[in-house]
Chains A and B, each alone.
Chain A
Amino acid sequence: MRTVRALSPLLRRAGGRDARITTALACTAFAVVTALALSVAGGLLAFQARAAEPVPSGGHVFGYLYVSLAWTALALLVVPLITLGGAAARLGVSRRDARLSALRLIGVTPREVVGLTLVETAWQGLVGAVAGCVLYVLLIPFWTLFVFQDRPFTFGELWVGPLVLAGALVVIPLLAAGSGAVSLRQVVVSPLGVSRRVRAPGLRAVRVLVAGVLMIGFIVVSIAMRSFGAVAIGVLLGSFGAAFLALNAIGPWVLRQFGGRRLRAARTPEQLLAARRLLDDPKAAWRVVGGLGLAGFVAGALAVVPVLAAAQAERDATSEIIGHDLTTGGLLTLSLTFVVAAVSAGITQAASVLDRRREYALQHLAGLPSDLLDRVRRREVLGPLVLVSVGSAALALVMLSPLFGLLALRSMTGPLLLVGCLALGCVLVLAATEASRPLLRSVLADTVVRAD
């Protein structure tokens, strides 16, 4: 412990430009996670407060419906947010292999090496969390622009209070350290720093079976539910959860099949490299686009909302408000998911450039054109992105068809909204991955890839 205490401040200051870039990226990611998590928590608290109010007029009757919907949005965002936190922690760990194995050589024990890494990652988490709290406060005026239950939120409603803020400052660093510990277990830091890449274990087809059962279960439950009406909303939400589990089970498997197909069809170097990189770790690829898969699923479900809202609005004003709020809330959740997925994708790309820095630099010395790596990156991200977002939106339309029939296709507003959102999200993610371009250029400009 004494070694950890003595060395950690030194390590924090050590490291060159790369270390500064990765630290900045990791802190940014933790800040985004903190700010968005606090914003969503603020929204949840606001709906809870509104639900607890005495009922003066129509809009509040459905207070608890809003609370459960806010919980749903929170649940939807938890997975991508944790993914982003994990990506940031992995990035934090990735550049430390070399330094840490040097420490092993001078006699620091493995336990102390792990301790040092966790202290560093937690420190980044803390810096990010502080920045995230500031960002959250700056974002509140923006959130007050949104109208729910026929009135905009106030600053006071969205303010989570000092206790929750303090909680974030504790929880985010702990989560960061936890994710760091998990990734350190994967990168075995031996005294000689040999972290070997081997073939990822195969993904078994049993995933498809599990996913199939869950999806059919959902369809059966929702057909049965139609006769029971809205009382079974809890069951429905549970089935939604099952559908997400199904997506998560099937996602990496589908990406693996997709990668295999593309590998066989690959003709050019960039097609070959992009397919191999996807096959190398389909689970990692899924972690990046998986959030979008879930968002696409929600977007698909939401495509029916404008039709439902229009149908209901003919009857009463409350239904109109709920329809409006469902659309707003859904779009908001979708946008947040896209932002988080985009930051995740950017961070993951940066980590991947740093992980492969030596082989990239040496390939470049041997004449590999640098724009080839740009093309590989775009191909690597875009393929799974389009597959997953379009695929999951289509899946949602199919799975929800027993509930809503072909309502979604009756009006063009919903599908257009869906296509627009997905296209915008894909562009956002691509733009975020381009952020790793300067890092790649600096890695390729490095001709001194040998120690002496």
Chain B
Amino acid sequence: MTTTPLAGPDRLTARGLVKRFGPTTALAGVDVTLRPGESLSVMGPSGSGKSTLLHCLAGILQPDAGSVVLQPASGAPLDLGSLGERRRSLVRRQHFGFVFQFGQLLSELTALENVALPSMLLGATRADAELTASGWLSRLGLDGMGDRRPGELSGGQAQRVAVARALVTRPAVVFADEPTGALDQATGYDVMRLLTETTRAAGASLVVVTHDADVAAWCERRITVRDGLVVDEARRAGGAATVPAGAGTSVHGSADPR
């Protein structure tokens, strides 16, 4: 597998993010930068503001103060804070991919159609979109699963389809919100391995929000959020390795990746 060098300007730069919900301050001035191809985990207990941070970075929520600037692989930088909802929705379609805990696949579409949909939304023909989608499904070990509906897939298979869906448009950044939260440990390990490896191979940056240290260990850099502030930042020893330090070499054999 080729690794993308961490070079060039920052892919995503957030400065002084503040977000309040009524009397509650979810983010109290957060700075985050993300390099091209870098993987970052955001840790923190429930209610710490980590999901709000992900939503602000991804242009889902507008921060009350501060800025989020995306530098796409080509073209001028985009200041997400200055864009309206419609434009931000377009930015999310074009430049970002998303993997949620569960239930993001449309239940009436097949796995193949679910993966083809983002490309079709960006104007690809159905035939082209399905051809590309089929390639992603086989890269994620889902050959022969294309005709299945989400209800006919296991939790791990559905998450792999979600990873394919997130990467099919070749996004600049993939945002994953508790991507293994609904999976058992061995399946979660499998999904994290595929998520980090394929994201990296596609040259995309990755932001993983989690409260699980084992999941966070897959990322090169980790920040910890508490009470709306970044309280800790750490870089994993060994740099850009794709398997967390101490993890077993067998994907299926080890129940505990640590």
In the bound complex, do residue B121 and residue A372 qualify as a contact, i.e. CB atoms below 8 Å apart? yes
Q: CB of B106 within 8 A of chain A?
A: yes
Question: Number of contact residues on B: which range applies?
Answer: 35 or more
> Please, what's the 1-or-0 string for A351-381, where 1 marks a CB less than 8 Å from any CB in chain B?
0000010110011111111101000000000
Write 30 A-B pairs (CB below 8 A) sorted by A numbering.
A197-B149, A197-B151, A198-B152, A199-B149, A266-B126, A267-B126, A268-B120, A272-B109, A276-B109, A277-B108, A280-B107, A280-B108, A358-B103, A359-B106, A362-B104, A365-B55, A365-B92, A366-B92, A366-B97, A367-B93, A367-B94, A367-B96, A367-B121, A369-B86, A369-B121, A447-B55, A450-B51, A450-B100, A450-B101, A450-B177
A452 to B: closest C-beta gap in Å:
4
Q: B178 contacts A366, CB within 8 Å?
A: no
Nearest B residue (CB) for A276 = B108
A-binding residues in B (CB < 8 A): 46-47, 51, 55, 58, 60-61, 86, 89-94, 96-98, 100-101, 103-109, 113, 117-118, 120-121, 125-126, 149-152, 166, 177-178
Chain A residues near B (Cβ < 8 Å): 196-199, 266-269, 272-273, 276-277, 279-280, 356, 358-359, 362-370, 372, 447-450, 452
Task: Known pairs A272-B113, A359-B107, A365-B100; list 14 more (Cβ under 8 Å).
Answer: A267-B125, A269-B120, A279-B108, A280-B108, A358-B104, A362-B103, A367-B93, A367-B98, A368-B93, A369-B90, A447-B55, A449-B100, A450-B101, A452-B47
Smallest CB–CB gap between B91 and chain A, Å? 8
Cross-chain contact of A367 among B92, B113, B151 (Cβ < 8 A):
B92
**Cβ of B106 and Cβ of A369 under 8 Å apart?**
no
Taking CB as reference atom, which chain A residue is nearest B105?
A359
Kindly provide the distance from the CB of A269 to the nearest chain B CB, expressed in whole angstroms.
Answer: 5
Residue on A with the closest CB to B46? A452
Chain A residue with Cβ nearest B209: A450
With A267-B125, A365-B92, A366-B98 as given contacts, are A447 and B108 in contact (CB-CB < 8 Å)? no
Which residues of the other chain, B, contact A369 by a CB distance below 8 angstroms? 86, 89-90, 93, 121
Q: How far is the CB of A202 from chain B (nearest CB, A)?
A: 14
CB-CB under 8 A from A267, the residues of chain B are 125-126
Q: Determine the distance from Cα of A277 to Cα of B98 in the docked complex, in whole angstroms.
A: 24
User: Which residues of chain B are near A372, meaning CB under 8 Å?
Assistant: 121
Closest to B181 in A: A450
Q: Which chain B residue shows the least CB distance to A266?
A: B126
Instruction: Name the CB-closest residue of B to A452.
Output: B46
Shortest CB–CB separation between residue A355 and chain B, in angstroms? 9
- Residues of A close to B152: CB separation below 8 A: 198-199
**Which of A273, A367, A448, A452: most chain B Cβ within 10 A?**
A367
State the CA gap A77–B46 with chains docked (Å).
53
Are B103 and A359 in contact (CB-based, < 8 A)? yes
Chain A residues, CB < 8 A from B121: 269, 367-369, 372
How far is it, in angstroms, between the C-alpha of A370 and the C-alpha of B91 when the chains are bound?
14
Do A196 and B151 touch across chains, with their CB atoms under 8 A apart?
yes
Instruction: Verify B117–A269 contact, CB threshold 8 A.
Output: yes
Q: State A376–B111 Cα separation when bound (angstroms).
A: 19
Instruction: Output the least CB separation between B121 and chain A (Å).
Output: 6
Chain A residue nearest to B51 (CB atoms) is: A450
CA distance A276 to B109 in the complex (A): 6
CB-based contact B100/A362 at 8 Å:
yes
Contact of A198 among B97, B103, B149 (CB under 8 A): B149
What is the chain B residue whose CB lies nearest that of A278?
Answer: B108
Q: Give the distance in Å from the alpha carbon of A268 to the alpha carbon of B118 in the complex.
A: 11
Q: Is the CB of B104 within 8 A of A366?
A: yes
Nearest CB of A to B108, in Å: 4
| Alpha-carbon distance between A449 and B100 when the two chains are bound, in angstroms | 10
Kindly list chain B residues whose C-beta atoms are within 8 Å of the C-beta of A359.
Answer: 103-107
B89 CB contact (under 8 Å) in A199, A280, A367: A367
Closest residue on chain B to residue A271 by CB atoms: B126
B198 CB, min distance to chain A CBs, angstroms: 17
Q: Do B107 and A356 touch across chains, with their CB atoms under 8 A apart? A: yes
Q: Which residues of B contact A363 (CB under 8 A)?
A: 104, 106
